Amino acid sequence: MSRDRSNKLLPSVSLAAGGAGGAIEAIVTYPLEFVKTRMQLGTVKTRNPIIIISRVVRTEGLPALYRGFPNVVIGSMGKNAVRFVSFDAIKNVWKDPATGELTPIRSLLAGMSAGVMTSMFVVTPTQRIKTAIIDDGGTERRFRSSLQAARVMYQERGLAVFYDGFGSTTLKSISATAVRMGMYNILKDCQHSRSIPPAATTAFVNGAIAGIVTTYATQPFDTLKTRCQSADGASITQAFRRIVANGGLKMFWSGSVTRLGRTILSGGVLFTVYEQIAAVLDPLLAPR
């Protein structure tokens, strides 16, 4: 049974559905995230993801493709839980009471607000550890696990180390969440206005379309974030200069094709799982 759009989705439902969607999305797409990060760090010479994967498996072993994976699963669950709870809460305040819909501008602003929340509480620290582990895997190999890496990093520089790249990560998170959540909400409103019934296939297509737009709109921020969060860390200015020195402005779109494949897949999986779980949990938890 579909949920009436005029009703508010319970925060507990958003939290559970967003967390589950984030976990499944991370499991399915992590190897592509690994390859994209190596490309952005400039530690590989090719842009062919298959060549990179085969080389990593041959030289570092198959488990290397999942270096930093537990941290990313936790981060993805937390990120999407916070993202959906924040977005739904803001959307419920700004939506039209009669139709339950947002204007396109309000959809984007709600997404931006949710992006700030996710960057502050989840994305920056978890992405910092993940990026450092992947970078380290191609150089010194000091880090054996997410927990051990976090401990070493904390001992060397304290809590501040986990917020290296906070500015660039927040820019990326704001832009990505605004575009992704805003575009998805616009597509859902369009679907609703045309009386298209909700289904897993439409949720997947909407999520995939939102993912395509998000990738190319936000790739420079993603590349800048990755460089800021390398094993040694860097400021936004240092990262910008290194990227330009490595190959000019085109380097800001490094790994975009790989990220596009991951984002299309992750967007489809994430929103499909979210909608399906929310549809099951909302009637069960809604007050009678």
Sequential pLDDT tens for the chain (288 residues): 344 444 567 778 888 888 888 888 888 888 888 888 888 887 777 878 888 889 888 988 888 888 777 777 777 788 778 878 888 888 888 887 777 777 878 877 887 888 888 888 888 888 888 888 888 876 667 888 888 889 999 999 999 889 888 888 888 778 877 787 778 888 888 888 888 887 778 888 887 888 788 888 888 888 888 888 877 777 888 888 988 888 788 888 877 788 788 777 877 788 888 888 888 888 877 665
Distances (CA, A) of 174 to 66, 85, 167, 217: 27, 15, 10, 12
Amino acid, res. 139: T
* Reported pTM: 0.57
User: Span 11-285: which CATH code?
Assistant: 1.50.40.10
Amino acid, res. 239: A
Q: Is 92 exposed, middle or buried (0-12, 13-18, 19+ CB in 10 A)?
A: middle
Where do the domains of the chain lie? Answer: 11-285
259 vs 256: CA distance, rounded Å: 5
